[in-house]
């Protein structure tokens, strides 16, 4: 792939960085990322990855834009209330970068369709708001050996983790949470501060860019926790669970 003049100009601030350069930018342009949930996290993820030059974004969300979403789901505008979130986000992406190829998926993810949905995907970004979807997405990523960038934000606290199948020490989301249990904290019940989802979503986009372009060292193996009250970040070592129902078996066979 050779970049045209418009692309060389558009991405010049990344191209000039030794960590990215032309080779890294070409990887971004050739990459295909799936974003699960076009809510508070998925919106900044989609906008930043489109702006950064990720070639194809598959947007997965069956929901429509609601008035209560507008406080934090920054790809959607007041006039988008009632529209499908993937359609609204696709418009926002096109306005920022018409070169981004967008695929809109409004099917509900389930055990039967998720593996096909991830065909050709290089990185999955999870911005969903419930444990069932998180586990479904995690387990599929482990099966398909696709890197997963998972984020969560509630009230004034956010967290982030990366599963990287290329890293043998990388735990998956299920290593951390094991089962859904009974607590499914979501913004509708507990609330969330608007900029917090931007902080976490931007970090998810950053980790995704790093994974694709081969920049630095990914967050894999750690849980990153942000407490907005104290403006403190904690990076906690996260061991993988050898008995994990999702990734334990694949690891034991040494694959
Ligand atoms: Zn695991």
Structure confidence by residue, pLDDT tens digits, 94-131: 999 999 999 999 999 999 999 999 999 999 999 999 99
How far does residue 66's CA lie from ligand 1's centre (Å)?
A: 34
Task: State the pLDDT at residue 187.
Answer: 77
Which residue do the tokens 């949470």 mark?
177
Q: What is the mean pLDDT of residues 209-221?
A: 97
CATH superfamily membership of 18-252? NAD(P)-binding Rossmann-like Domain (3.40.50.720)
How far does residue 138's CA lie from ligand 1's centre (Å)?
A: 9
How far does residue 163's CA lie from ligand 1's centre (Å)?
A: 9
Burial zone of 3 (CB within 10 Å; 0-12 exposed, 13-18 middle, 19+ buried): middle
Task: State the pLDDT at residue 178.
Answer: 72
Task: State the pLDDT at residue 186.
Answer: 75
Min mean pLDDT across 13-17, 76-80, 245-249 is at: 245-249
Min mean pLDDT across 145-149, 230-234, 249-253 is at: 249-253
Domain ranges of the chain: 18-252
Task: State the pLDDT at residue 188.
Answer: 77
How far does residue 190's CA lie from ligand 1's centre (Å)?
A: 28
How far does residue 125's CA lie from ligand 1's centre (Å)?
A: 17
Q: What are phi and psi of 22, to 5 degrees?
A: -65, -40
30-40 residue pLDDT tens: 999 999 999 99
Is the pLDDT reported for residue 254 higher than 50?
Answer: no
How far does residue 240's CA lie from ligand 1's centre (Å)?
A: 6
**Residue 223: strand pairing partners:** 161, 236
How far does residue 9's CA lie from ligand 1's centre (Å)?
A: 42
> Who wins on pLDDT, 12 or 2?
12
How far does residue 175's CA lie from ligand 1's centre (Å)?
A: 4
**Residue 94: strand pairing partners:** none
* pTM, 2 dp: 0.95
Is the pLDDT reported for residue 255 higher than 70?
Answer: no
How far does residue 98's CA lie from ligand 1's centre (Å)?
A: 37
Report yes or no: 134 and 173 within 8 Å, Cβ to Cβ. yes
Neighbours of 114 (CB within 10 A): 22
173-193 residue pLDDT tens: 999 887 655 566 777 788 999
Nearest to 40 by CA among 9, 78, 1, 68: 68
How far does residue 244's CA lie from ligand 1's centre (Å)?
A: 5
How far does residue 57's CA lie from ligand 1's centre (Å)?
A: 26
How far does residue 247's CA lie from ligand 1's centre (Å)?
A: 4
Report yes or no: 38 and 126 within 8 Å, Cβ to Cβ. no
Q: What is the mean pLDDT of residues 149-168?
A: 96
73-86 residue pLDDT tens: 999 999 999 999 99
């Amino acid at each position: 792939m050779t970049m045209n003049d418009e692309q060389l100009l558009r991405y010049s601030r990344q191209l000039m960085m030794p960590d990215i350069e032309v080779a890294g930018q070409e990887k971004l342009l050739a990459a295909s990322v799936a974003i699960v949930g076009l809510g508070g996290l998925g919106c900044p993820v989609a906008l930043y990855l489109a702006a950064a030059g990720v070639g194809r974004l598959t947007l997965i969300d069956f929901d429509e834009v609601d008035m209560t979403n507008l406080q934090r789901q920054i790809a959607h505008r007041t006039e988008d209330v009632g529209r499908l979130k993937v359609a609204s986000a696709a418009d926002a992406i096109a306005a920022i970068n018409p070169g981004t190829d967008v695929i809109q998926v409004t099917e509900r993810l389930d055990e039967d369709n998720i593996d096909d949905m991830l065909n050709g995907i290089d990185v999955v970004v999870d911005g969903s708001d419930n444990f069932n979807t998180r586990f479904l997405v995690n387990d599929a990523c482990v099966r398909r050996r696709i890197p997963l960038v998972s984020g969560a934000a509630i009230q004034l606290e956010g967290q982030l983790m990366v599963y990287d199948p290329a890293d043998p020490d990388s735990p998956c989301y299920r290593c951390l949470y094991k089962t859904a249990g009974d607590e499914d904290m979501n913004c509708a019940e507990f609330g969330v501060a608007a900029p917090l989802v931007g902080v976490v979503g931007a970090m998810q986009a950053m980790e995704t860019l790093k994974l694709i372009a081969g920049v630095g060292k990914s967050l894999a193996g750690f849980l990153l926790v942000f407490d907005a009250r104290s403006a403190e970040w904690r990076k906690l070592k996260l061991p993988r669970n050898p008995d994990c129902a999702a990734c334990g078996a694949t690891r034991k066979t040494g694959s």
